[in-house]
Structure 1
Amino acid sequence: MSNLDLNSTLDFTDEQVKLALKFATEKHKGQFRESGDEYITHPVWVAKVVAQLGVGQEAVIAALLHDCIEDTNTTEDEIANLFGDEVALLVSGMTDVKHKTSGVEIHKTNVEIFRRFLFSSVNDVRVLVIRLTDKLHNGLTVNYLPKDRQIKYAQRVLGIYGPVAEYVGLHYFKRLLEDIAFKILYPKKASNLELELKKSELEDEKALNKITNDINVLLKSNRIAGCEVSSRVKGLYSSYLKIKQKGLDKLKD
């Protein structure tokens, strides 16, 4: 879903969404992010991106409230009374996922076993969608954190959240998250690879457009309808792994 607008605005005409914004703003009053921004800017960003994913109003409301239980004096019952059991379960699920992942040390943990445990313990995939959006915003503002926390964030992205994004079908999130993590953990390699890929960017785009056009012509001439031809650009980290495994000449297959 690469057509997401990460700078969009949220529609606050819905009464429940308006109530959730008011509630979250009040609960997070006096709290600030490492960037110095008011904390409420974070759940609002998460909610506006979740709203574009088509996972329902309850998920948007839960996104606005996702840090209330953990970071304020809010209870699950309070959320259930105001916004319903479904929203309360989503927010509670988010808090639970945070607690399960907070103590994980990637270099000491079998991440594959942990990922399976995480998937099996989450009852609603929307919890993972909200959590991934939460992690993405944290990644986009990670430069405000001390270096040791940046490294910890990046290790968890590559070990846990990148694969989780792939699991739930959010491949665009996976690419963004992994590229952020790659630049933190291997800044020199990331910078060199970025320069290398930019050299052939225009040529690759022309070739891709030609191939797409040729396939569309072929489909039309054979009267094959209902097919959509699409392509995707490999992420920086994904490109790095492929080059490491197969060499630069195999990158564009």
Structure 2
Amino acid sequence: MNQKFEEILRQIEGCEKAYQLAKQAHIGQKRLSGEDFINHPLAVAQMLVDWKLDVGSIAAGLLHDTVEEGNVSLAKIKKEFGADIADLVNGVTKIGEIKLRAKKDEAFVENLRKMIVVMAHDLRVVLIKLADRYHNLQTLHVLPLEKQERISRETLEIYAPLAERLGIGEIKGQLEDLAFPYLYSQEYQWVKKYSAPFYKKADQQLAQVKRKLLKKLAKERIKAEIHTRAKHLYSLYQKLLRPEIDRDINKIHDLVALRVIVKTVEECYSALGVIHKFFKPVPSIGIRDFISQPKPNGYQSIHTNVF
């Protein structure tokens, strides 16, 4: 982990002490990848900083492996950092004990998801665990094949859906894409090769549309941020398997997308009007209004497909 991030941690009040304890607890320890163990809690903490979580969560991210891997007692963490951080560390440790031993039916898997949320008591525990899982997936190749498959299946069936329920769909997609090649290697290679030229062409077109749309919105005095996104490979693969798609990528209308971010609900509907004024809606798809009908996790937006 780079020195710049270590310096950032030192500047976050309450994290310097946690960093020093984690560093001491993991001194001399190596991960199976060969890197220093401390790099893992640092990577987890960096994700939590990027997600703008509170100081307690970041400190718990630094300390999350000290009990199980570093011989630090929960009592010591509670004494040094307080009950809140100790509870977060304990929650992450307990969730880590839940293993998906074999492929089960959906009802069983759903019960595991619910069990994780109940055991967590605090959704910050789940977020720390998601960051932990994300970084561990990046070095999954060094583990035995049996563990690779189990961890990947847990990711696809438990942790990725949890990320979606928490409203962090981008993390869901990243988790799925990291697990995908370990469970479905041939399918992963096929969809990656098949989609590459389509993504390249679509990305070029998207950059042009983004520039044009920013000008149109500015002309209507709508201040907006526009972000681009490409459909994640595992999500694309699942969609290609649908009978109505029949593995034809040309039938997929959301391979790439623009996210137009505005400050108010009124501006959101106004932006939709601008988009439909200058781009033709795809008639067979229509508009999905998640403002008037939010998703269960609170997600609100308007989806439209244009060409």
1:161-200 equivalence runs, <5 A = 161-200=159-198
Amino acid in the other structure paired with 2:251: K
1:54 maps to which of 17, 28, 52: 52
Unaligned segments of structure 1, at least 5 residues: 1-5
Q: Secondary structure at the match of 1:34?
A: coil
**Matches of 2:158 and 2:3 in 1, distance apart?**
26
The structural deviation recorded for 1:83 is 1.2
**Matches of 1:56 and 1:252 in 2, distance apart?**
38
**Matches of 1:38 and 1:221 in 2, distance apart?**
53
Deviates more, 1:9-18 or 1:49-58: 9-18
Higher strand share: 2
The structural deviation recorded for 1:7 is 11
**Matches of 2:50 and 2:212 in 1, distance apart?**
32
Deviates more, 1:243-252 or 1:142-151: 243-252
Paired residues of 2:217 and 2:223 also in contact (CA < 8 A): no
The structural deviation recorded for 1:75 is 2.0
2:250 corresponds to which residue? Answer: 249
1:92 maps to which of 78, 90, 95: 90
Q: Secondary structure at the match of 1:36?
A: coil
2:101 corresponds to which residue? Answer: 105
What per-residue deviation string (whole Å, max 9, x for no partner) do you get for residues 217-242 of structure 1? 4433444x244343321111000001
Paired residues of 1:46 and 1:137 also in contact (CA < 8 A): yes
The structural deviation recorded for 1:170 is 2.5
The structural deviation recorded for 1:106 is 4.5
1:74 corresponds to which residue? Answer: 72
Paired residues of 1:106 and 1:159 also in contact (CA < 8 A): no
**Matches of 1:162 and 1:236 in 2, distance apart?**
14
- For the aligned residue pairs, the C-alpha RMSD in angstroms reads 2.3
TM-score (norm: length of structure 1): 0.88
1:206 corresponds to which residue? Answer: 204
Paired residues of 1:50 and 1:59 also in contact (CA < 8 A): yes
Q: Secondary structure at the match of 2:153?
A: helix
Paired residues of 1:70 and 1:95 also in contact (CA < 8 A): yes
Q: Secondary structure at the match of 1:135?
A: helix
Aligned residues: 246
Call closer, same or farther: CA 1:148–1:7 in 2, change over 3 Å. Answer: farther
Tell me, yes or no, if structure 1 residue 160 matches structure 2 residue 161: no
Higher helix share: 1
The structural deviation recorded for 1:8 is 7.0
2:283 corresponds to which residue? Answer: none
**Matches of 2:227 and 2:9 in 1, distance apart?**
33
2:232 corresponds to which residue? Answer: 235
Tell me, yes or no, if structure 1 residue 13 matches structure 2 residue 10: yes
Tell me, yes or no, if structure 1 residue 142 matches structure 2 residue 143: no
Paired residues of 1:8 and 1:48 also in contact (CA < 8 A): no
Call closer, same or farther: CA 1:217–1:56 in 2, change over 3 Å. Answer: same
The structural deviation recorded for 1:207 is 2.3
**Matches of 2:101 and 2:146 in 1, distance apart?**
13
Paired residues of 2:199 and 2:230 also in contact (CA < 8 A): no
Q: Secondary structure at the match of 2:217?
A: helix
**Matches of 2:253 and 2:3 in 1, distance apart?**
30
Paired residues of 1:154 and 1:185 also in contact (CA < 8 A): yes
Q: Secondary structure at the match of 2:130?
A: helix
The structural deviation recorded for 1:133 is 0.8
Unaligned segments of structure 2, at least 5 residues: 255-307
The structural deviation recorded for 1:23 is 1.0
Greater RCO structure (CA 8 Å; 6+ sep): 1
Deviates more, 1:117-126 or 1:17-26: 117-126
**Matches of 2:28 and 2:152 in 1, distance apart?**
28
What per-residue deviation string (whole Å, max 9, x for no partner) do you get for residues 48-87 of structure 1? 2211111011111101100112223322221111112221
Deviates more, 1:104-113 or 1:123-132: 104-113
Amino acid in the other structure paired with 1:140: Q
TM-score (norm: length of structure 2): 0.73
Q: Percent identity?
A: 30
Amino acid in the other structure paired with 2:196: K
Amino acid in the other structure paired with 2:173: R
